[in-house]
Amino acid sequence: MKFAAIYIRVSTDSQAEEGYSIEAQKEQLSAYCVSKGIKKYEFYIDGGWSGSNIERPQMQRLIEDVNADKVSHVIVYKLDRLSRSQKDTLYLIEDVFNPHGVDFVSLNESMDTSTPMGRLMLGILSAFAQLERENIRLRTRMGMKERVRSGLWMGGGRVPFGYDYDKEQGVLVPNKDAEKVRQIYKLYIEGKAPQEIANLLGLKYDRLVYQILTRKSNYGIIEYNGEEYQGQHEPIISREMYDIAMRCMVERSFVRANTSEHLLTGLLHCGKCGAKMRYQKWGDKGFKLVCYSQQKSKPYLVKDPDCGQERVWAEEVEAEAIRAIFEFANNYKPSETESLAPGDTISLLQEQQKALNKKIKKLYNIYAAEEDNDILLETIEDLKKKLGQVNKQLESSTNNDAVLAGRKEKAELLLTVEELWDGMDVKQKKHIVRKLVNKVVITDSHVHIDFSL
């Protein structure tokens, strides 16, 4: 026999205080079942779960039981106990409950979807529930911005290394690791490598050193949504020390990029475990390419300690990469946009915008003359999505021109790369390869080139 499913959700302690406690909901919903002569019912209780989505344990069990045709009714105390998302609410009603003949009852709103009025009310109330959730999100964002603007920390779990968060005052407070932060800047400015600094100070990996060095909160600034605000917290270092460290970082990046003689440095990836690969000196015979999963120098780069990737000769992989670039260049056919001047992309997008608007208007006229044509509505929605994409591209026309210019540059490089290759030095060849290639994937002796066009 089928039974009624009583679904109960409480997300916070404050909701329990406001009369949404689990026991309060159980009492009223079971009393409703008795009043309606429903003798068999079962509770589905999600305590401490948000209503922003339906990824909740008991909600998933309820969906499974409905799909198994075990449920006759789904009964809740209030509509937002089911979900605060209009999309999820309508999905549950239209795609889960209705196909299995399950009636939905919301006690607080006196709603029963077995009646036409109940179905109408469902759509209206779901819309209001979604609106309230979006308003809460908007108020939260606005409150957060005002908080940061006044110099208080954002709160939450993302507390920078070297600080603790004082909830009462709402500010960051330097802790015992603050001195370690100062040492990181001092050692880096003195010329120590990030991995060496990490080893000296007991940090897990060199990437953490980079993260600490680039945090503006260390000299008193709070970054929020791309903007900077003066924080009320005590700085660990001076702005001058931060600026010196950033200049050192830029200088070292330039040196690293121009001193390596290896053509594919930074582009190599293992096809077996996905880790990066590096050049390793192999006696007097040259260099081999080794997967970082097989190295112990940087544990955070290990993807699979048991990776069986072959160690292949770098010279052979470079030769294969060059051959593949030449072959790609010979077969490459520029797209329509690459034949345009950078400024022409705007007029092209405007033509697409005009054509899409015309199609949408025409389809709406056809839809107005017909009844319940779902296919037409789906087509209109697809066209509106495309129109939205075109509108976004028009809004960022400067970026579009930059992208187009970059593609045109790559297309022009492909036309001459094989002819000019032998006359280039290593620096020029590396520049060309990085312009044209995203990554080089090596699976044993097989080489795959992922091009950026």
Which residues are known to be catalytic?
A: 11
3-state SS, residue 215: coil
Supply the DSSP symbol for 276. Answer: B
Supply the DSSP symbol for 293. Answer: G
Supply the DSSP symbol for 101. Answer: T
144: alpha, beta or left? (left if phi > 0; alpha if psi -120 to 50): alpha
For 127-265, where are the E strands, in sequence order?
163-166, 171-174, 221-224, 227-230
Sorted by sequence, the CB contacts under 8 Å of residue 335 that are 6+ apart come out as 407
Sequence letter at residue 397: S
Strand partners, 90: none
Distance in angstroms (rounded) separating the CA atoms of residues 413 and 433: 10
Give, to the nearest 10 degrees, the angle between helix 426-436 and helix 314-331.
60
Sequence letter at residue 331: N
Alpha helices (runs of H) in 5-104, residue ranges in sequence order: 13-15, 22-35, 57-67, 79-82, 86-91
Supply 357's token pair: 């608007």
Distance in angstroms (rounded) separating the CA atoms of residues 108 and 338: 60
Supply 175's token pair: 């802790």
18 and 55 Cβ atoms separated by less than 8 Å = no
Supply 334's token pair: 């520029």
